Structure 1
Amino acid sequence: MRVVNTLGPKETDSYAAALNIPGEEENEIVIHDNFDDIIANLEQYQGEYLLIPAAYQSKQKDFGWRELSYEYWDRLVIEQVFHHALKPMVLISNFDFHQNKAIIHPATTNLLNHYLKEQQLTMPIHYAGSKASAYERFVANKYRFTIVSEDVMEENNPYQIIKRYLPEMVWCLYFIK
């Protein structure tokens, strides 16, 4: 059985993609709070696998899938690349916000920045390890904006959907040497 490390919780696109890795191999899926922790501790996962989207973007400025591919070329071997669409995502607003800030997953920064520029808004942006954890913090801390997978929103929530996104995604399954 192949051990596949990816982003959690189970509501994430990464977990959904891990459940849909093409092939006959059985997978044990191990979820993590963020990709950065997996990458920083690759030696702990030798002989296992990492499933990561091509859109991976770290909380660290200027570190994403491109940098991962070049910096860790000698520790990560691409075993498989496949397409699996992301869940529909939404930019939501909280009109009863207490913090005039946004909380998002780093990979969605361009989407938020495009909207803020369009609206001529500026505000601090905080980052979470996943869109699901961004939503939890958005609700708990009454942020003004977030971008989340639409299916994590509770029914009858008080938030307004401002934009909907339907991006495609390519996933990379790496063997960790």
Structure 2
Amino acid sequence: MIIHTLGPAETDSCEAASDYLRHQCDKGTLVLHDSFESVINHLDAFVGDFLLIPAAFKSSRRNIDWADVHYGCLEQLKLVDCFHGQLDPLVLVRRKDAAHAIAYTHPATAALLKKYLQNSDRSVEIRYTDSKYLAYQNYRLNHAQLVVTNKKIISLGEQETIEKTYAVDMVWCVYKILKRSR
């Protein structure tokens, strides 16, 4: 079994795919991609393999989400399994000495950030990334003010605080990638 999902190894998608493989067949291969679009746009190259994607998927590159993939790829994606599980805790981190009034998030977690901003006096530019892992990397690299990411990957500096922690249960969908009908 070959499962395509979002990488790198620090992503929730990689962890969910690893757990799925362990429970299903205890052997298989994970192929990690920079974005779900890199799989969705090249399904013909992965016929016979599987795609693992969260129901909360939203693209940072195109205006698509899980429903668009599910319905838009009906001929090439057959839903074969679903499961749910607790994500590692998510956190909203604030840098007190930020160089830029920028917040990084994945589009799927943008609602958490927007709700926080509604209840605060902060005004920031929101920038979207392909994963929560990349959101944190960009936050650090650009000395940004806010980020929504996984708690397990952060390393807080003296000027950083966890403003909010979120416990999230996620639904995961496993699709068999089919040959395109002509």
User: Normalising by the residue count of structure 1, what TM-score does the alignment of the two structures yield?
Assistant: 0.93
Runs of 4+ in 1 over 4 A off after TM superposition: none
- Any gaps of 5 or more consecutive residues in structure 2? none
Question: Residues 95 and 33 (structure 1 numbering): CA distance in 2 closer, same or farther, change over 3 Å?
Answer: same
SS at match of 1:83: strand
Give the letter for the 1:149 counterpart.
N
> Residue 80 of structure 1 aligns with which residue?
81
2:106 alignment partner AA = H
- Paired residues for 1:1-80 under 5 Å: 2-21=1-20, 22-24=23-25, 26-60=27-61, 62-80=63-81
Q: What residue number does 2:97 align with?
A: 96
1:131 corresponds in structure 2 to 132
Q: What residue number does 1:160 align with?
A: 161
C-alpha distance in structure 2 between counterparts of 1:160 and 1:133, whole Å: 19
**Structure 1 residues 121 and 77, CA, compared in 2 at 3 Å: closer, same or farther?**
same
- Segments of 5+ residues of structure 1 without an aligned counterpart are none
Cα deviation, residue 82, structure 1:
0.8
Instruction: Give the letter aligned to residue 3 of structure 1.
Output: I
TM-fit CA distance, 1:141: 0.6
| CA–CA separation in structure 2 for the residues paired with 1:36 and 1:28 | 19
Instruction: Label 1:74 to 1:120 Cα distance change in 2 as closer, same or farther (>3 A).
Output: farther
- Find out whether 1:171 has 2:177 as its counterpart: no
Closer/same/farther in 2, CA of residues 138 and 117 from structure 1, 3 Å limit? same
1:61 & 1:162 partners in 2: Cα distance?
Answer: 30
Q: CA RMSD in A?
A: 1.5
Give the AA of the match of 2:19.
N
**CA deviation digits over 1:19-60, x for unaligned, max 9?**
111322522001111112211222221111110011111114
Question: What is the identity percentage for the equivalent residue pairs of Structure 1 and Structure 2?
Answer: 34
CA distance in 1, matches of 2:34, 2:159: 27
